[in-house]
Amino acid sequence: MATQESFIEYVVGQLENAGEISYKKMFGEYALYCDEKVVALVCDNQVFVKPTDAGKSVIGKVVEAPPYPGAKNYYLVDAVMDDKKLFCKVIRSTADALPLPKPKKPKTKKQASSRKKK
């Protein structure tokens, strides 16, 4: 079952005080960003936060589960999500613990022209 758009909008609404929150649809599910860092995946109307020591210290007893078959375990935060303040703290601390994404390399003219021909 794919995540419903109303659910991802609810999640984003809960995180209005966590930083710059955005999401991107990927393979029928969503990647959740905080300050341009992927901090969680939203799959099957559940939120899976990237595992970090900082996030674990805020959550306390964590429930680990893979967001999709074959994936590594993330922190399943369904029990935390409805507590807006705690959920923001989990996402904020996770974002702070993650490195900035590597800058994308600019496309070369050869790559750009070969894509246009297809």
63-97 pLDDT, tens digit each:
999 999 999 999 999 989 999 999 999 999 999 99
Q: pTM for the whole thing?
A: 0.84
Rg, Å, the chain Cα set: 16
Tokens of 100: 């900035």
∠ Cα 28 98 38 (to 5°): 15
Return the bridge partners of 38, or none.
33
Q: What number of other Cβ atoms are within 10 A of residue 72's Cβ? A: 10
Candidate CATH numbers 1.10.1050.10, 3.90.1010.10, 3.30.465.10, 3.30.1460.30; the one for domain 5-117: 3.30.1460.30
3-state secondary structure of 99: coil
pLDDT at residue number 17? 92
* Intervals of the chain under pLDDT 70: 1, 109-118
Task: Check residue 56 and give its pLDDT.
Answer: 95
pLDDT on residue 41: 96
Average pLDDT, whole number, for the chain? 89
